[in-house]
Structure 1
Amino acid sequence: MVVRALSFGTVAEAYERFRPGYPAEVLDLVVAYAGRPIRTALEIGAGTGKATRLFAQAGIEVTATDPDAAMLAELRKHVPAHVTTVQAAFEDLPLDTSYDLVYSAAALHWTNPEGRWDRMAALVRPGGVFASFAAPTQLADPDLQQAVRAARAPYLEDDGVPSPDGTPADRPMQWPGTELQQSDWFTDVRQAVIERRLTISAQDYIGHLSTVSAYVMLNPTDRDEAFRRILQVLPGTVELDAQLHAHLARRGH
């Protein structure tokens, strides 16, 4: 998992170009849930700053952290100057400062489950907010999904990230809400979905796949062949289901 988590720096520019950003609804959701001003925030696994800029542009003092120097170098090109950057994995962050908000966008599953919520609680001020967002982007057309699965099958069986705690997809509460509900530190756990559809070119969809860890980890020859085969079964443009899943919780006093 650590190798996969650190694989993104090799594709930092592609990640910035092809991964969708986060809509204003995400910020609205967090602010409404907090119910009080959010002045400081810590981001875990900031990547190229897709979520960083959403919160920083709202006037929040963001400290963006990531273990990968290449991702942070790309991030600095795109975020306001007042954003602080720290190169560190979540597990190595000092626990001497706490924040009104600690959040992670499409990165929490890379963190070590052992002691995760004790460490998180040390970083969130009492009464403060933890938030996680994920957007498991996929083709909206089930038939195209099946065609792509068949095209890549010789090289890659599954390109997704399984639920970190094994929660079945049909359960009302999904991870990390499941873990937050069991934590002694957090209360008022909520789950929300923000619907989102995107239309992009088939080439840009391949660009998006080039930033997905399962493809990054393939050897280059197999990856190129998988992409060639996928491109053959796609129309010129594709519609993506880029539904955002949010989990929110409040740090107890």
Structure 2
Amino acid sequence: MDNDEHLLHASSFGSAAVAYAEHRPDYAEAAVRWALEPAPGPRVLDLGAGTGKLTATLVTLGAEVIAVEPDAAMLTELRRALPGVRALPGSAEAIPLPDGSVDAVLAGNAMHWFDMAVAGPEIARVLAPGGVLAGLWNLMDDRVEWVAGLARVSGSAAVGPRDTPDSWRAETAGAHLPRTGAAPRFGSPEQVEFPHGQRRTADSLVATLATRAGVLVMPEREQEATLDRIRAFLAGGPETARGDFTLPMLTGVLRVRRL
């Protein structure tokens, strides 16, 4: 993906902010706990917070959360859902917080959009010594046969390079870790996956996949054809054709500590 295409995908979510808030999954609580485990204190920045999917879990766990999100429409949905959370406009490349002001920086399905050449020093700046940086991604568990079939039918626009466990491990193994100058400012990365799931119907799963960046930027006819193909697959599957079902997922976490 070239830079222009990357920017187009990264900026696509605001057009679907309401659907994103309704249909995107939260994160496995055990995964969020593990991400925070080494943090020296309770102050957490949810960076690229979107509509607050990760923010809500952090609040449940008792963290002192600040959310930062660049898209105005996404930020509006976050503030509507979580009015008690301090939510600020800003980005990973320009974090509106003082030096050393948080103990952990977490990013839910967002770190791959950051320009780490700029965001890395910013994240290091706002983290207290010994602080934690963790990216979390919700993955479709394609070890389950029907989920693997769904991934094939959906195509790369709906199920991208970080959306299944094997591809996530390869894509995130050091690819998004911040460095400042020639020297790393963070320690060795750790990758762990935690079981998760989302109750869906065929219609709500189609709506979920329709909020993926690759689908949002498609020409209308191509988008309709992709979603129709997914609907047909789900209608023909015994696991998904009638009523509610659980979409088997994992929450993958990439965690490093600030040196």
1:93 to 92, 95, 98: 95
SS at match of 1:90: coil
Supply the AA of the counterpart residue of 2:121.
D
Give the aligned partner of residue 249 of structure 1: 256
Query: Counterpart of 2:192?
Result: 192
Aligned partner of 2:27: which letter? Y
Counterpart Cα distance in 2 of 1:49 and 1:14: 13
Cα contact 2:95–2:122 (8 A) shared by 1 = no
- 1:197 partner SS: strand
Contact 1:105 1:133 in 2 (8 A): yes
Aligned to 2:113: 110
Once the two structures are TM-superposed, the CA of residue 133 in structure 1 deviates from its matched residue by 0.5
CA distance in 2, matches of 1:172, 1:145: 17
Aligned to 1:50: 53
Offset of residue 184 of structure 1:
1.7
TM-score (norm 2): 0.81
What RMSD over aligned residues (CA atoms) do the two structures have, in Å?
2.8
**1:41–1:63 Cα contact (<8 Å) kept:** yes
Q: 1:128 to 1:2 in 2, by over 3 A?
A: same
Counterpart of 1:41 in structure 2: which amino acid?
A: V
- 1:155-174 equivalent positions in 2, closer than 5 A: 157-162=156-161, 169=166
1:129 aligned counterpart, secondary structure: strand
**1:73 match:** 76
1:37 aligns with 2:41: yes
SS for the counterpart of 2:193 is strand
The percent identity for this pair of structures is 27
Deviation at 1:109, TM superposition (A): 0.4
Q: Helix, strand or coil: the match of 2:198?
A: strand
Q: CA deviation at 1:146?
A: 3.5
Q: Structure 1 unaligned runs (5+)?
A: none
Q: How many residues align?
A: 241
Task: Please state whether the residue corresponding to 1:65 is helix, strand or coil.
Answer: strand
CA distance in 2, matches of 1:210, 1:241: 18
Deviations 1:112-164 (A, max 9, x none): 132432222112111111111111236664356446634x5xxx55434436x
Q: CA separation in 2, counterparts of 1:108 and 1:171?
A: 12
| Structure 2 residue 7 is matched with structure 1 residue 7 | no
Which position in structure 2 is the counterpart of 1:175? 172
**Residue range with higher mean Cα deviation, 136-145 or 6-15:** 136-145
Instruction: Report if aligned partners of 1:57, 1:80 keep a CA contact under 8 Å in 2.
Output: no
Give deviations 1:200-225, integer Å, cap 9, x for gaps: 21111101111111110112232123
Rounded to whole Å, the distance in 2 between the matches of 1:48 and 1:54 is 12
**Alpha carbons 2:161, 2:168 under 8 Å: kept:** no
Inter-CA distance 72–94: structure 2 relative to 1 (3 Å threshold): closer
Q: Deviations along 1:157-187, whole A, 9 cap, x unmatched?
A: 5434436xxxx94797761545549762112
The 8 Å contact of residues 47 and 66 in structure 1, kept in 2 or not, is answered as yes
- Aligned counterparts of 1:137 and 1:148: Cα–Cα separation in 2: 8
Contact 1:199-1:240 at 8 Å conserved across structures: yes
